[in-house]
């Protein structure tokens, strides 16, 4: 059974880069049946898709974040990573790592999420 686990700093200073890693167990990030992605949820608010990546390296980004965002995969480590540059308080959120069905585009399963706070 697939499990995904996010990791990374819980506190990032404004203008710096938010970096998170997602480690997969129970499935291969090289599976052709899935994308792998990130979704975030500001405290008390709704869900926002950040971006997705295919094992080949093809990426799809939310246009609102595109200029600051890099998502990549490390197939040797079975890991997914997120880098969001020039963060502000508006980037404070719980960040979820997700598996995305390649044809149907739904998300399942979700990681437990990690809270990242942007503050000096």
Residue 101 interacts with other proteins (CB under 8 A): yes or no: yes
**Contact range with other proteins by CB under 8 A, out of 14-22, 69-77, 83-91, 105-113:** 105-113
- How far apart, in Å, do the first and last CA atoms of the chain sit? 39
Contacts 24+ apart (CB under 8 A), 54-63: 54/102, 55/29, 55/30, 55/31, 60/35
Sheet arrangement for strand 3-7? 3-7, 18-25, 79-84, 69-74
Q: Are 2 and 26 in contact (CB under 8 A)?
A: yes
One of 18, 96, 116, 118 touching other proteins (CB under 8 A): 96
Among 10, 76, 104, 119, binds other proteins (CB under 8 A): 104
- Report the residue number, 4 or 118, with the smaller CB distance to other proteins: 4
Please report whether residue 38 would count as binding other proteins according to CB under 8 A: no
- 10 is a site residue for other proteins (CB under 8 A): no
Binding region for other proteins (CB under 8 A):
46-49, 52, 60-63, 96, 101, 104-113
């Amino acid at each position: 059974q697939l499990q995904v686990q996010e990791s990374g700093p819980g506190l990032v200073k404004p203008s710096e880069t938010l970096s998170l890693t997602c480690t997969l167990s129970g499935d291969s990030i090289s599976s052709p049946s899935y994308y792998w992605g990130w979704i975030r949820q500001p405290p008390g608010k709704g869900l926002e898709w950040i971006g997705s990546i295919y094992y080949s390296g093809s990426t799809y980004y939310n246009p609102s974040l595109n200029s600051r965002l890099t998502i990549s995969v490390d197939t040797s480590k079975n890991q997914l990573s997120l880098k969001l540059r020039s963060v502000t308080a508006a980037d404070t959120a719980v960040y979820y790592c997700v598996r995305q069905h390649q044809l149907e585009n739904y998300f399942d399963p979700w990681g437990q999420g990690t809270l990242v706070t942007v503050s000096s």
